Homo-oligomer: A and B are copies of this chain.
Amino acid sequence: MQNECGDCVCVLRSSVNMKDCQLEMLGGNHTVVKFKKGDSIIKQGVFSTNVIFLRKGMAKVHISGPSREQIVKLVKAPTYLGLPTTFGDKINQYSVTSVIDSEVCFIDLEVFKRLLGENRDFGSYILMELCKSELEAYRRCASRTQKQMRGNLADVLLEFSEKLFEADQFTLPLSQSDIGNWVDAGRESINRVLSEFIQDGIIQMQGRQVRIVDKKMLKMISQNG
């Protein structure tokens, strides 16, 4: 258990000067849970008293909009999940669902808050993280609404390739209709553009296995909207 927790915060420990006693406090107040692909980790509308850390895996953050479910972003381990929804409101304001098998660490909110107070480095680390994700949210939103489908889909493919999987070949963890909910497009349109990309020799696909062939072209498409 302690051991697990050492791993769990090791990412932070490198940048944050965390005392052993604080690590122990954390170790004594957490639970590790496994989630299978498709399982709900955080559910919008439900009361929450835990800070959640994604140890392994990948998850989608989504919020219910006026007419459909909007995917806000995809995140991969290691990262905190739903800090805004935990601190900003007692009731979860969005959902998080694992898109591949994942492992999650629940930390008691009070313990986490105490830690924030005691360890200034840790506090400013969390503050920074929040700021960055807010900035990212602004950028994404502007980009999504101003580009058209081809550009947005190119962005998604590039994000999978460069940020999430860090490979030219990967398995899409989302269905086409989910991708549609991410980039504000209909499922059919996603399918059509994907076909175009294959036709044009930009990507290859078999099932959900994607291979990016012409990354330069993808970046071109991403840029000119």
Chain A residues in the interface with B (C-beta under 8 A):
63-68, 70, 72, 83-89, 93-94, 113, 116-117, 120, 123-124, 126-128, 130-135, 137-147, 151, 184, 223, 225
Query: Do most interface residues of chain A lie in helix, strand or loop, or is the interface mixed?
Result: helix
> Are A138 and B137 in touch, CB under 8 angstroms?
yes
- State the number of copies, please: 2
**Across the interface, do A135 and B184 meet the contact criterion of CB distance under 8 Å?**
no
B85/A135 in contact, CB under 8 A = yes
CB of A134 to closest CB in B, whole Å? 4
Contacts of A64 in B (CB 8 A): 142
Residues of B near A88 (CB, < 8 A) are 128, 131-132, 134-135
Given contacts A132-B88, A134-B88, are A143 and B66 in contact (CB under 8 A)? yes
Q: Which one of B85, B94, B184 contacts A146 once the chains associate, using CB atoms below 8 Å?
A: B184
